[in-house]
Structure 1
C-alpha cells in the first residue's frame, strides 16, 4: 500500500483531526503547523497569530480506499470554508481554511474541490491554496486529542460532535464508526 499525504487547515486542529480519524482509508492524522516564517514554532507562538503558520493536519491515506478529492470534499463538508481567518470562536490567520498541495496533481484537485464547495455555499469560499511548506508536528499533547482529554474539554464537546455528525450524515459509506 502506497500512502499519500494531504495537508490542510480548517480551524482548530483538534477538531479536524477527530473527523479524519473516522474516515476509511485514512491511516494517520498528525496535528501540526505549516505555512509560516518561524522555525520549530510552539503552540503558544502559533496561537499569537504572529508566526504566519496555520494549525493544520497532515493526513496519511491509502488512495485505493479514499481519494485526495474525497479528503478535500470531507474537509469542506465539516468546516465552514466561507469564514476568512476563523472557524467559529477561533479567530486569526492560524485558523484559516487552507490547502497545501504536495504535487501539481493535488493542486489541480484542490482547485476543483474549491469549485465543488462553492456550488454548495451562497457566500464565497475563501479557502486558499498555498505552496508546500515545512511541516512542524504539534507538541505531543495535541496528538490524538479527541481520543484523550478532548472529551473532557467543553470547547471540543461543543465543536467536534457536530462535525462528526456532518461526516456521518454526508459520508456514511466512508466512516469507520458506521462500518463496524
Structure 2
C-alpha cells in the first residue's frame, strides 16, 4: 500500500457503531474511527453531550481508504445503500439530530462526487433523500469504548438485532467490495 493513495471520507448514517462495522469489512479501507462532527458548541464534545441533541453534532465515522483499491464514489455508494438516507434525524430506533444522514466533504472534488452519487441513487428510493451534504469543519474522535464497538461487543442485543442485519445487507449488495 502506498500512503500517498490514502484518502479520508467522513460520513454519518445514524449510529456510528453501525457504519463503523460496515466499513471495517470493505476492501481498501485501512482504518475507521468513530467520532462527532457538525456541531456548534466549541470544544471536544462528549458522548453524553452529543446524545442530548443540544450540541448539533452528528455521530460520524472517518474512513481512511486506499483510492487505488476503492474509490470515494464507491465508498459513498456503499454508505448510501447500507443506511436509510430518507429518514430525517433518524435511523431505526435512534432519533435525534445526532443520528442524521450526512456526508462531510473534504474538498471540492469530494463535494462534486457526493452530489453525483446522491443524484444517482435517488431513483432507488421511494421517498426523498434527506442526506445533508456539508463541508467538514472539524472531526472529534469519540471515546475509546466506541471504537471497534461491534468487534468488541457482538453478543450484545443492539449488535445482534441492529448491526448484524446491516452487515448481511452489505454482504448481499456489495460482495465484490468486501475484504477476503
**TM-score strictly above 0.5:** yes
Higher mean displacement: 110-119 or 45-54:
110-119
How far did 1:165 drift?
1.1
Is 2:107 the counterpart of 1:98?
A: no
Post-superposition CA distance 1:68-111 (Å, at most 9, x none):
01000001110000000000000000000000000100000111
Give 2:76's aligned residue: 72
How far did 1:119 drift?
1.4
Give 2:89's aligned residue: 85
Distance, in Å, in 1 between the alignment partners of 2:48 and 2:144 is 14
Give 1:20's aligned residue: 23
Root-mean-square deviation (CA, aligned residues, Å) is 0.8
Structure 1 unmatched ranges of 5 or more: none
- After superposing on structure 2, the runs of 4+ consecutive aligned residues of structure 1 that deviate more than 4 Å are none
Q: Are 2:12 and 2:58, in contact at CA under 8 Å, matched by a contact in 1?
A: yes
How far did 1:166 drift?
1.3
Give 2:49's aligned residue: 45
Distance, in Å, in 1 between the alignment partners of 2:80 and 2:136 is 20
Distance, in Å, in 1 between the alignment partners of 2:30 and 2:142 is 18
Structure 2 unmatched ranges of 5 or more: none
Q: 2:156 aligns with which of 126, 139, 153?
A: 153
- How many residue pairs get aligned? The number is 176
TM-score after normalising by structure 2: 0.96
Distance, in Å, in 2 between the alignment partners of 1:155 and 1:165 is 15
Q: 1:169 aligns with which of 172, 175, 178?
A: 172
Post-superposition CA distance 1:126-153 (Å, at most 9, x none):
001012111100000000001102x122
Distance, in Å, in 2 between the alignment partners of 1:85 and 1:156 is 21
How far did 1:167 drift?
1.0
